[in-house]
Amino acid sequence: MLPTAPATATTAATAAAAAAAPPDLLARICSLLPPGVAITTVPRLNKAWAAATAPRVAELRKVAAARQEEARRSLCGGRLRDFTCFSLPLWALQEAWPQLDGEQRRLAAARAAFHGDLATLTWALQQQDGAGKFCCLAAARGGQLEALQWARAQQPPCPWSEETCSAAAYDGHLTVLQWLRAQEPPCPWDEETCSAAARSGHLAVLQWLRAQRPPCPGGFMTCIAAAEGGHLAVLQWLRAQQPPCPWDEETCSAAARSGHLAVLQWLRAQRPPCPGGFMTCTAAAEGGQLAVLQWLRARQPPCPWETETCSAAARGGHLAVLQWLRAQQPPCPWGKGIYIQAACGGHVAVLQWLRAQRPHPRLDEGICTEAAREGHLAVLQWARAQRRPCPWNEGTCSAAAERGQLAVLQWLRAQEPPCPWNEGTCSAAADGGHLDVLQWARAQQPPCPWNAAECFAVAENGNADETTIEWICAQAELEGLVIG
């Protein structure tokens, strides 16, 4: 609970003064506070402070959501998790702790490490074994050497791995990286450490990594990462080494996908040039990089393309790119699978344009299934509204259940006639741990067929939690079924 002082004349006077202060002054004060304090503490002081901090709170939450989405989409995959969201003040974390699950507690500790909040970090690690799982990684990512040293001084030390060095390299924290490698034994590293530095353009870090004895491993992925990030100076340095850092067609593809035309031009101007081919045009289309694609096709000879080039544009929803590809003479080829690619991305406008072409690709029977799997209800509705509706089958309901797309499944079954389902629908929901989908399916009249034993087996071996498994057992018992 938020600490409060006894109600005294002094505190009452302070509150009155805050209420009387101009709103712009309060907003200015709020702008200087740490994000966690601004979000959790200030709004609980009084209405004046809450109103003054509201715009900043909204902006901070928007930034936090954007960072989480960026981390989810990051080409680094899970190796560089995002811990940059604000750290909760200690009082707020203590208040929320009983409601947090294990993963949320570990994330809270990691955020404290990222921001160097030792008081909060110390308290969190005292509460639960395993709370420090990501602390070294987060401290390295935030450049918080003191927090990192503290985490490693615990008994047992907070764990580290190759990811820890990669995190420090990604954000250019050379001092942290040097400390990590100076320990006995040193924190491990791998090729991703060099790639992380190259991806972010930290040439000094990369040079230090390669100057060690033995040097930090580097390879094809290092050049790919530099090209992906658009860091020409890094790429030039990598290729100037003896022997040069290796490259391949994916290096050109990475530059094309990210729209780094100057990097791509340099790559192709070398002697011999960096390899390029079908993948390069496809990567440009995938990234929606029309200018890059036009440059590639204007070369002599033109960079080759294939049916996957159109599919990549459709998958990304890049209609202008797709239209340009098909307007060439001869046009870029496409195949019937292009509808599925557009459906997977949820791009109704692309689907509508494809159907308007003459001749147009044939509708693929997988469109409804893939749209249901990805939760793209608008695509599904469009597909079924065609003069000859796009076909569906039992696999369509199973695909929706597999990903927990309850609203999609409800729409599928509300049609006349409804989309068919079978035991696979319940099994898919159980395998994915989607209890709400499973309960809804079994509550219909008549209920969706199920094989309780199979649902139990896939739930135990899949992503289901204990609550889902217990419900399956209880439901089977109510129905007099034997599951094991």
Q: Are residues 348 and 426 in the same domain?
A: no
Which residues, 6+ apart, have CB-to-CB distance to 89 below 8 Å?
Answer: 34, 36, 37, 40, 41, 120
Q: Are residues 340 and 428 in the same domain?
A: no
Assess if residue 15 is contained within a domain.
no
User: Last residue of some domain: 373, 397, 420?
Assistant: 420
Q: Are residues 319 and 349 in the same domain?
A: yes
Dihedral sign from CA coordinates of 151, 157, 159, 160: positive
User: Last residue of some domain: 159, 179, 203?
Assistant: 159
Assess if residue 390 is contained within a domain.
yes
Assess if residue 98 is contained within a domain.
yes
Q: Can you give the pLDDT at residue 10?
A: 45
Q: Are residues 426 and 437 in the same domain?
A: yes
Angle at 153 (CA atoms; ends 152, 157), nearest 5 degrees: 50
Which residues, 6+ apart, have CB-to-CB distance to 373 below 8 Å?
Answer: 399, 400, 402, 403, 405
Q: Is 302 left (phi over 0), alpha (psi -120 to 50) or beta?
A: beta
Nearest to 84 by CA among 196, 179, 193, 167: 167
Assess if residue 256 is contained within a domain.
no
Spell 216-237 as b/e; 16+ CB within 10 A means b: bbbeebbbbbbbbbbbbebbeb
Q: Are residues 454 and 384 in the same domain?
A: no
CB–CB of 162/192 below 8 Å? yes
Q: Are residues 40 and 145 in the same domain?
A: yes
Distance CA 483, CA 477 (A): 9
Distance CA 254, CA 396 (A): 34
Assess if residue 177 is contained within a domain.
no
Tokens describing residue 475: 């439901």
Q: Can you give the pLDDT at residue 20?
A: 56
Spell 411-423 as b/e; 16+ CB within 10 A means b: bbbeeeeebebbb
Nearest to 189 by CA among 228, 170, 239, 83: 170
Q: Can you give the pLDDT at residue 79?
A: 46
Distance CA 96, CA 119 (A): 16
Q: Can you give the pLDDT at residue 5?
A: 40
Distance CA 288, CA 420 (A): 37
For the chain, what is the domain count?
A: 4
Distance CA 326, CA 304 (A): 14
CB–CB of 356/323 below 8 Å? no
> Hey, what's the torsion of the CAs at 377, 419, 382, 395, to 10 degrees?
70
Q: Can you give the pLDDT at residue 183?
A: 97
Task: List the pLDDT tens digit at each of the 484 positions of the chain.
Answer: 444 444 444 445 545 555 556 767 666 666 666 666 666 666 666 677 677 667 776 776 776 666 666 555 553 444 445 666 667 778 778 888 888 888 888 888 998 999 898 999 999 988 877 778 899 999 999 999 999 999 999 999 999 999 999 999 999 999 999 999 999 999 999 999 999 999 999 999 999 999 999 999 999 999 999 999 999 999 999 999 999 999 999 999 999 999 999 999 999 999 999 999 999 999 999 999 999 999 999 999 999 999 999 999 999 999 999 999 999 999 999 988 899 999 999 999 999 999 999 887 777 779 999 999 999 999 999 999 998 899 999 999 999 999 999 999 999 999 999 999 999 999 999 999 999 999 999 999 999 999 999 999 999 998 899 999 999 999 999 999 888 6
- The pTM assigned to this predicted structure is 0.81
CB–CB of 329/359 below 8 Å? no
Assess if residue 66 is contained within a domain.
no
Q: Are residues 46 and 148 in the same domain?
A: yes
- List the alpha helices (DSSP H) in 173-317: 174-182, 191-200, 203-211, 220-229, 232-240, 249-258, 261-269, 278-286, 290-298, 307-316
Tokens describing residue 315: 């998958």
Assess if residue 143 is contained within a domain.
yes
Q: Are residues 339 and 408 in the same domain?
A: no
Which helix or strand (DSSP H or E) is residue 135 part of?
helix 135-142
**Tokens 């498994």 -> residue:** 469
* Residue 62: count of CB within 10 angstroms of its CB: 10
Q: Can you give the pLDDT at residue 54?
A: 75
Tokens describing residue 38: 């601004």
Q: Are residues 367 and 357 in the same domain?
A: no
Nearest to 177 by CA among 167, 151, 80: 167
Q: Are residues 150 and 89 in the same domain?
A: yes
303: CATH? 1.25.40
Q: Can you give the pLDDT at residue 96?
A: 81
State the angle between helix axes of 406-414 and 377-384 in degrees (0 to 180), rounded to the nearest 10: 20
Which residues, 6+ apart, have CB-to-CB distance to 72 below 8 Å?
Answer: none
Q: Are residues 283 and 381 in the same domain?
A: no
The whole domain housing 401 covers 363-420
CB–CB of 125/109 below 8 Å? yes
User: Last residue of some domain: 361, 376, 400?
Assistant: 361
Which helix or strand (DSSP H or E) is residue 9 part of?
helix 9-20
Q: Are residues 41 and 121 in the same domain?
A: yes
* Residue 462: count of CB within 10 angstroms of its CB: 16
Integer angstrom CA distances of residue 466 from 164, 434, 452, 463: 32, 12, 16, 10
Assess if residue 428 is contained within a domain.
yes
